[in-house]
Amino acid sequence: MEKMKILVVDDEQIVREHFAEQIPWEEAGFLWMGAAINGQEAIAMMERELPHLVLTDITMPIMDGLEFAQYVKTRWPHVRIIFLTAHDEFAYAQRAVVLGAKNYLLKMGLSQEQVLQACKAVAEEIQGDWMKEDLHNRRIEQQRQEEWTARNQLIQRMVSEPASATSDSMRQINEWIPFKGSYCSVISVGWDWYWVFHENSLAEEAFEHMQWLAGEALEQREDFAETSIQVAVFPYRNSRLTILVTCPMQRGYAFFQFALHEFVRYGLEKTREIVKSDCFVFVSAITSQMEQVAKQIAEGQARLQDYFYSGKAVMANQDGMIEPEPEPDSVERLEQIARMTKSLHNREWREFMTMVEQLTTLRDPAQSSDFLLAVARGVLENGMKVPEPHKKSLRMRLELVNTWQAYCHWWELAVDYLAIPSTLFEQKNAVRREIAVICGLIANRYNEDLSIADLADAVHLNPAYVGQLFKQETGEYLSDYISRIRMHKAKELLGKTELKIYEIAQAVGITDYRYFCKMFKLMVGVTPTEYKRSR
């Protein structure tokens, strides 16, 4: 619990020294801030640091205690005041109560116990207020999160199933922003967070918070209140917003058109500032028909997919866009996922990499970004056997893919996580099944004390023969391959965690710290410490 900060205001030096030196503030759970000679000096001190409780004399030069208390009550109403005075008069006590004083103590014969008892009573009251305020803030935050989630789910339904966007959905939206007698436009905004996540590895909660901050800033633009323009923001995925802007029809179409143009400019600038990334936006036509708004919501998010290839920041029509080919049906998508998943399960690396290459080769006409992302998502969830932290990272990155470049990079990273040796898919002939199984075991158990004998036993071969076979099939010694995979994982941990170097050595299956450092320097070219510092 935070300690209560105490400030004393009294023009008598002996009183100030008594409170500073004779009262055991720290033992009683308080923090002594200091003492002021009069109200004016106390205000100057409070400008620098605000106390929770002020004990002040009444009769003082320059600014007396009553005048000081009036100022504090007006400017800092949460600061509590206890009056210290030699006056045992009803008029003073009555005025002190009016000014919100929490107690009225006579300085004559005042003991330590009386001072601390009075301060503790006020401290308990303050802590009670804190608890109430904290509970109130938690309720508000919970309501905000529930509403934000409800908005997200609503837009998810309207985008994924536009045909089923019923009047009920629009009635629900109408609760947040009224349509009757208004013009409306739907603005769809997205931003490219893929590279931000790749370089900083921020938690998902951080992205959600920045998305909410952007929405909050756009909804609360102050100058719109004067023009009767209203804004409601709905989140979509982790890096998108659907923004509904309405304007009373009596303000005129031309007025709204101009205001909308200004809002788009402002919205892009503000969103970039908050999410710290490039943004792209699609602006729908202005309409006065509610049923059109539902279609525009789905259309807006669909049109943001144009950014996947075009990279245009502002889109309001199709001129100059790369036209994707028609969306493949769900059967074709499922078949593609099944083929890639099967190749992974069977360790058919060459076949798998051929399909990855097909997905990451730009076509004319271009493949639908929805199709490409759906295939990646299906293969990730159903075919990739990687440690859960890696799968979680790939899942988060995929949610942030908004460009062709990011999509290709995602597959590079996925292949890297699968630890497929490049020599395996560069060969003309498929690698033997036993070698594929060994590579899979190493990828999943690199952090264990693996021996060639253990790996040979797993594929029912002689240890000496396994080493020869691995070199013959891959062009790499088995022990070197194990070390390479371990150093690859070590580089990831050095770049993305705060683990100590000896902890990283153990995490990749090497118990000898010195051997780990020597091996890392040999294979990476720098020491683990130098590598970590360079990140």
Rounded Cα distance between 129 and 341, Å, is: 58
Per-residue pLDDT of the chain (535 residues; tens, 9 = 90+): 678 999 999 988 988 888 998 889 988 889 999 999 999 999 999 999 999 999 988 888 888 888 888 898 889 988 998 888 776 554 555 555 544 555 666 666 678 888 898 889 888 888 888 888 888 888 888 888 888 988 998 888 888 776 665 677 888 888 888 888 899 999 999 988 887 776 666 677 788 889 999 999 998 876 666 678 899 999 998 889 999 999 999 988 989 988 888 888 888 889 989 988 888 889 999 998 888 888 888 888 888 887 887 766 666 543 333 333 444 556 677 888 888 888 887 767 778 888 888 888 877 667 788 888 889 999 998 888 777 777 888 888 888 888 888 888 899 888 877 765 544 444 434 557 788 888 888 888 888 888 888 888 888 888 888 888 888 877 778 888 888 888 888 988 888 888 999 999 999 999 888 899 988 888 777 889 888 887 6
Query: What is the rounded CA–CA span in Å between residue 55 and residue 115?
Result: 10
List of residues 6+ apart from 325 with CB closer than 8 A = 363, 365, 366, 367, 368
pLDDT at 326: 45
**Is the same domain home to 105 and 189?**
no
- Look up residue 177 and give its two tokens: 């922003």
Q: Are residues 181 and 241 in the same domain?
A: yes
DSSP string, 231-298: EEEEEETTTEEEEEEEEEGGG-HHHHHHHHHHHHHHHHHHHHHHHTS-EEEEEPPPBS-HHHHHHHHH
Strand order in the sheet with 240-248: 230-236, 240-248, 182-191, 279-283, 314-315
> 348 in a domain, yes or no?
no
- C-alpha closest to that of 126 among 233, 40, 210, 54: 54
Residue 430 is classified by DSSP as P
Q: For residue 438, count CB atoms less than 10 angstroms from its CB and return exposed for 0-12, middle for 13-18, buried for 19 or more.
A: buried
Write down which residue in 315, 338, 370 finishes a domain: 315
Q: What's the farthest any 2 CA atoms get from each other in the chain?
A: 104
Q: How far is CA 122 from CA 55, 91, 101, 118, in A?
A: 11, 23, 10, 7
In a domain, 525, yes or no: no
310 and 182 belong to one structural domain: yes
Question: d(Cα 113, Cα 482) in Å, to the nearest integer?
Answer: 71
Q: Specify the CATH number for the domain of residue 310.
A: 3.30.70.270
Block residue for tokens 């720098």:
526
Do 98 and 206 lie in a common domain? no
Q: How many residues does the chain have?
A: 535
User: Do 123 and 20 share a structural domain?
Assistant: yes
Please tell me whether residues 89 and 211 are part of one structural domain.
no
Q: Which amino acid is at 129?
A: D
Phi (first) and psi of residue 322, to 5 degrees: -75, 120
Which residues partner with 32 through β-bridges?
Answer: 6
Give the distance from CA 271 to its chain's centroid: 15
Q: How far apart are the C-alpha atoms of 329 and 28, rounded to whole Å?
A: 73
**Taking CA 346 as the corner, what is the angle to CA 344 and CA 347, rounded to the nearest 5 degrees?**
60
**Residue 15: inside a domain, yes or no?**
yes
Same domain, 118 and 219: no
Same domain as 192, residue 126: no
Q: Which two tokens stand for residue 228?
A: 């009767």
Q: Does residue 105 belong to any structural domain of this protein?
A: yes
- Give CA torsion, residues 326, 329, 334, 335, to 10 deg: -80
B/e letters for 193-207, b = 16+ CB within 10 Å, e = fewer, are bbbbbeeeeeeeeeb
CATH number at residue 54: 3.40.50.2300
CA 12 to chain centre: 54
Structure confidence at residue 454 (pLDDT): 86
Q: Are residues 95 and 224 located together in one domain of the fold?
A: no
* Residues 71 and 188 both lie in one domain: no
- Residue where a domain terminates, one of 315, 339, 368: 315
Whether 80 is covered by a domain: the verdict is yes
Whether residues 54 and 188 share a domain: the answer is no
Q: Could you tell me the CA-to-CA distances from 96 to 75, 100, 126, 129, 424 in Å, in that order?
A: 17, 7, 19, 21, 86
If one counts the domains in the chain, the total is: 2
Amino acid code (one letter) for 59: T
* CA torsion through residues 409, 415, 421, 425, sign: negative
Distance between CA 228 and CA 89 in Å, rounded? 56
Residues 177 and 123 in one domain: no
Range of the domain at 292: 173-315
Backbone Cα Rg of the chain: 34
155 lies in a domain?
no
User: Which domain-ending residue is among 290, 315, 340?
Assistant: 315
Q: Is 183 among the domain residues?
A: yes
Position 192 scores a pLDDT of 85
Residue 36 lies in a domain: yes
